[in-house]
Amino acid sequence: MVAQNSRLFLDGISKSYPGCLANDGISIRVEPGSIHAILGENGAGKSTLMKIIYGVVKPDGGQLYWEGQEVQINAPVDARKLGIGMVFQHFSLFQTLSVVENIALGLDQNSASDLDKLAERIVEVSTKYGMPLEPHRLVHTLSTGERQRVEIVRCLIQDIKLLILDEPTSVLTPQEVTSLFDTLRQLAAEGSSILFISHKLKEIQSLCDSATVLRAGRVSGACNPRQESTTSMAKMMVGDETQISSEYPKASDSQPDFLSVQHLNLKTDDIFGIDLKAISFSAKQGEILGIAGVAGNGQSELLAALSGETKLDEANVIVFPESDLTQCNPMQRRAMGMGFVPEDRLGHGAVPDMSLRDNALLTGFLQGLINRGFLKHRAIENFTQSIIDKFDVKCSGQSSLARSLSGGNLQKFIIGREVLQTPKCLIAAHPTWGVDIGAATSIHKALIALRDQGASIVIISEDIDELFTISDRICALFDGELSPIKPTDETTIDELGSWMAGIFARQQVA
Amino acid sequence: MRIKLEARGQQSKLMSYASPVLAAVLTLICGALLFWILGKPPLQALHTFLVMPVSDPYRIAELLVKAGPIVLCAIGLSICFRANVWNIGAEGQLLMGGLVGSCAALWLLDAEGVWVLPVVLIAGVLGGAAWAAIPAFLKNYFNTNEILSTIMLNYISLNILLHGVHGPLKDPDGFNFPESAMFSDWQIMPIILEGTRLHLGVTFALFAMVAIWVLMSRTFVGFQIKVLGGDERSAHFAGFKEKRLVWLCLLICGGLAGLAGVGEVTGPIGQLVPNISPGYGYAAIIVAFLGRLHPLGIMLAGLLMALLYMGGEMVQIQLDLPRAITGVFQGMLLLFLLICDVLIAYRLVIEKSVSKTIEQPLRIEPQAIAIEGK
């Protein structure tokens, strides 16, 4: 059973959490020098499995074999001693420390004591793998792609035999993705194994030489991604019964401007925030405008300005449909028929410790749920139930706390809450972030249906595939500036990628 | 073997109700220990402290008289705390209510009619609310930390009150005692149970309990208050007017505390004296948390707190112990409650043996970059 030549062999790994079997007898073999994809929807058990390998979580059953020997990994420090490194989706970097200081924090005392020597090594390693880094720069001045490099270099600086990357491309531009893949191929060619977690099938096809597909905590298939079509892999991920992709006809470009934003300037108070510079765009009735961009280029600031959470000083910046909304607060904007889906679903779009019923009321209060200041409990229940039913929100009932829902389910709930209010203008950030393919498709359908009813929709997203699928016109946000806007059919992924990297002629504003 | 705390992942409903009970039990145990150390038979002392105060109808009525102002303050505090507005100033608001109510009463000393008492009460409510308006204003317009401003205002209001009874409000015929004139019959709360001091003011606590329960569970404003406390960013996102909610919470709390204060001077005291409250406003903080910020829980916790006050007097008389015992018990209760509340989000895990660490031969020393040549 134990293969001597495998780098890592997982045999029947199981892990259950209260009310949920996260991993159910998972067996995976990872060979030296291979780039192995772990594929699965959100909640399929990918993250739990990786945390078990990295020693963050202890399995309930099953064995781990490392280079042929059974091992117990009780903590990340054990994993690192074996030569396992992990790059998490959310970076664990101190923003106010320099690159070298951040890397030193993860090392033992001996290697961390001499920062100058470490800095030299960082330069050496990072150049070797095509990820140039300046060791003395402060992390908060780095771009997201560069921060990821810090995380990767932090792993490479030690003797790495297995590198685990958790959805590494979600924060990168297409160009950065290409360069990351070059690095990973080089690492693999030198004999390191790589576990690449993703649900982006095209990336897996281009990068990985083997793949294990997880569904609901079990291995649902293994394949060579190069020999499979994306559709067949997607089927393995979601099962046969789910519809996985759709083409949507683009809306014609004849409607008048509905929401119009003119020359939006915003100085942020947050030292890590991004100033918005002269942003102008308009969204027409019955169209979806997609705003692409790597996270941290002003998306949250733009959303807050549009929703009214951030106050703007000037007048006539936000006009919808014909009245100036610039000085209106979020409640007044909702009353005018606008709806918003914020970036963070927990602790912004929903109150974590409140029930779904209360969270439905949070923004749905204009839907006849209140009578002279008193809550209409029956109406609130009906509204909540219709969100749960129509958007297939998996929960144990209306009284479930928002916190108890998985990210994808909460996202469906929040989208449902806004869409069912049939806003005339919906502004949504990352509408399908962390949502499985089946649910993403149903969210897209709901958005398209809303568009076809004549609503004007603005989608701010990092997912380029998504934007190309549903947007009628598209643009990108970079460092608080907006690129030109083009009809989706007339642009290419390359052009959008270069806009996301800031390569566009700056708009001349009179 | 070692004991450690492990996150539960979600809050335990059972523990959130069991925790106050557990805290009360631990307080009893440590209280018994305390009596034993002080050289008193612990069980008898506990009996004197906790059972004798409720041993006859008169004393039960006394208990209710004490519970009234505590519950009024705690109910008001509970909505502040629900909104994450950390008002520690119920004591000052209570004193201010008593002071302003007394001013009105003294001004109307010769007036007659059933309208006099309501006017005095309203004056007290307004006094407390006005005092709470100060921290609300400071918080909303200068982002002042309300914990500090409300605590400091407690001392200011106490000193204004002392100035009043030693100066302008002193009874000219009072032989220079620091007390106001006795209020007239039209200004005194009617007794609702003959032979006791149980007065009309105690029922205000019941009304407040019902009113605040309706506010918090049935109205949109109450919902907004809960959202503000649960997650400020969501409240902002939904467009709730945070400043207005902060005003509202503090004004309601100040009004209720002011009512408690004016209820004391027009109730059991009958005049303005230097110490109209033995720290009811502070005790109410403990009561609010002990009662889980729920009106019914606050009612029960308020009765318990009143019992501690009565018990403190009992042991002083019967066992010759200092009245500070009450403060010690209050402190223990709050301390144990905070300790037990940890168990709402965490569970105790006892690990029998330290689990095996990674086998030695596999240990790989971290080296410099050695990826080459594999």
Place of tokens 């009617």: B190
Q: Choose between A487 and B6: higher pLDDT.
A: A487
**ipTM associated with this complex:** 0.82
Q: Where are the alpha helices (DSSP H) in B143-279?
A: 146-166, 201-218, 220-230, 232-238, 242-264
**What count of other Cβ atoms lies within 10 Å of the Cβ of residue A154?**
24
What are the chain A neighbours of B368 within 8 Å (beta carbons)? 111, 121
**Helix or strand holding residue A386 (H, E):** helix A377-390
**What count of other Cβ atoms lies within 10 Å of the Cβ of residue A224?**
11
pLDDT, tens digit only, all 374 positions of chain B: 677 787 776 677 888 888 999 999 999 999 999 999 988 898 888 898 889 888 889 999 999 999 999 999 999 999 999 999 999 999 999 999 999 999 999 999 999 999 999 999 999 999 999 999 999 999 999 999 999 999 999 999 999 999 999 999 999 888 888 999 999 999 999 999 888 899 999 999 999 999 999 999 999 999 999 999 999 999 999 999 999 999 999 999 999 999 999 999 999 999 999 999 999 999 999 999 989 899 999 999 999 999 999 988 888 888 888 888 888 988 998 899 989 988 888 888 887 654 444 434 433 333 333 333 33
Smallest Cβ distance to A82: which of B223, B364, B374?
B364
pLDDT of residue A215: 83
Measured CA to CA, the distance from residue B1 to residue B7 in angstroms comes to 19
Phi and psi torsions of A20, nearest 5°: -160, 130
Smallest Cβ distance to B219: which of A73, A125, A375?
A375
- pLDDT at position A1 over 70: no
pLDDT of residue A244: 53
β pairing state of A218-223 and A20-30? unpaired
Report whether A234 contacts A437 (CB < 8 A). Answer: yes
| Closest C-alpha among A504, A74, A500, A148 to residue A299 | A500
**Helix or strand holding residue A38 (H, E):** strand A35-40
Question: Is there a contact between B362 and A157 if contact means CB atoms under 8 Å apart?
Answer: no
- State how far residue B363 is from chain A, nearest Cα, in angstroms: 6
CA angle A128–A132–A137, rounded 5-degree value: 135
- State how far residue A458 is from chain B, nearest Cα, in angstroms: 17
Question: Is there a contact between B372 and A190 if contact means CB atoms under 8 Å apart?
Answer: yes
CA angle A249–A251–A252, rounded 5-degree value: 125
Place of tokens 């994993």: A79
Substitution target from B13, B143, B371 for chain A, most A beta carbons within 10 A: B371
**Nearest chain A residue to B364, by CA:** A81
pLDDT of residue A423: 93
How far is residue A22 from each of residues A62, A65, A256, A438, measured CA to CA in Å?
14, 20, 50, 19
Over residues A225-235, the mean pLDDT reads 80
Confidence of residue A240 (pLDDT cuts 50, 70, 90): low
- State how far residue B359 is from chain A, nearest Cα, in angstroms: 7
pLDDT of residue A245: 56
Report whether B106 contacts B262 (CB < 8 A). Answer: no
A and B: number of Cβ contacts within 8 A:
129
Measured CA to CA, the distance from residue B254 to residue A476 in angstroms comes to 51
Quote the radius of gyration of chain A (alpha carbons, Å): 24
pLDDT of residue A40: 80
Quote the radius of gyration of chain B (alpha carbons, Å): 25
A302: Cα separation from own chain's centroid: 18
Please return the burial class of B349, using the count of CB atoms within 10 Å of its CB with bins 0-12, 13-18 and 19+: exposed
What are the chain A neighbours of B364 within 8 Å (beta carbons)? 81-83, 159
- State how far residue A142 is from chain B, nearest Cα, in angstroms: 24
Question: Is there a contact between A373 and B219 if contact means CB atoms under 8 Å apart?
Answer: yes
pLDDT of residue B252: 97
How far is residue A423 from each of residues A339, A392, A415, B265, measured CA to CA in Å?
6, 20, 12, 56
Q: Choose between A493 and B374: higher pLDDT.
A: A493
- pLDDT at position A451 over 70: yes
Measured CA to CA, the distance from residue B246 to residue B252 in angstroms comes to 10
Measured CA to CA, the distance from residue A30 to residue A205 in angstroms comes to 17
- pLDDT at position A355 over 80: yes
Percent helix, strand, coil in chain B, to 5, is 70, 5, 25
Over residues A492-505, the mean pLDDT reads 81
Report whether B277 contacts B94 (CB < 8 A). Answer: yes
Report whether A108 contacts A186 (CB < 8 A). Answer: no
Question: Is there a contact between B227 and A348 if contact means CB atoms under 8 Å apart?
Answer: no
A359-379 pLDDT per residue, tens: 999 999 999 999 989 999 999
What are the chain A neighbours of B374 within 8 Å (beta carbons)? 32, 190-192
Considering chain A, what is the average pLDDT of its residues? 85
Measured CA to CA, the distance from residue A423 to residue A258 in angstroms comes to 13
What are the chain B neighbours of A187 within 8 Å (beta carbons)? 371
Substitution target from B143, B226, B234 for chain A, most A beta carbons within 10 A: B234
Q: Choose between A12 and B368: higher pLDDT.
A: A12
Which of A109-118, A201-210, A268-277, B208-217 has the highest mean predicted lDDT (pLDDT)? B208-217
* CA dihedral sign, ordered B28, B31, B36, B37: positive
At A36, is the secondary structure helix, strand, or coil? strand
pLDDT of residue B360: 40
Say which residues have a Cβ less than 8 Å from residue A425's Cβ, sequence separation at least 6: A258, A259, A283, A320, A337, A338, A339, A455, A456, A457, A458
Question: Is there a contact between A74 and B220 if contact means CB atoms under 8 Å apart?
Answer: no
Report whether A74 contacts A48 (CB < 8 A). Answer: no
Measured CA to CA, the distance from residue A119 to residue B293 in angstroms comes to 54
β pairing state of A210-215 and A61-66? unpaired
* CA dihedral sign, ordered A57, A61, A62, A67: positive
**Nearest chain A residue to B240, by CA:** A331
What are the chain A neighbours of B362 within 8 Å (beta carbons)? 66, 69, 71, 81-82
**Nearest chain B residue to A377, by CA:** B218
Measured CA to CA, the distance from residue B343 to residue B331 in angstroms comes to 19
- pLDDT at position A424 over 80: yes
Confidence of residue A139 (pLDDT cuts 50, 70, 90): confident
B90's tokens: 């119920």
B162's tokens: 């002392």
What are the chain A neighbours of B228 within 8 Å (beta carbons)? none
| Closest C-alpha among A326, A331, A238, A261 to residue A42 | A238
- State how far residue B138 is from chain A, nearest Cα, in angstroms: 21
What are the chain A neighbours of B238 within 8 Å (beta carbons)? 330-331, 362-363, 365
B90: Cα separation from own chain's centroid: 7
Measured CA to CA, the distance from residue B40 to residue B321 in angstroms comes to 9
DSSP state of B84: T
Report whether A261 contacts A306 (CB < 8 A). Answer: yes
| Closest C-alpha among A90, A18, A181 to residue B6 | A18
**Nearest chain B residue to A342, by CA:** B237
Identity at A55, one-letter amino acid code: G
pLDDT of residue A508: 44
Report whether A122 contacts A153 (CB < 8 A). Answer: yes
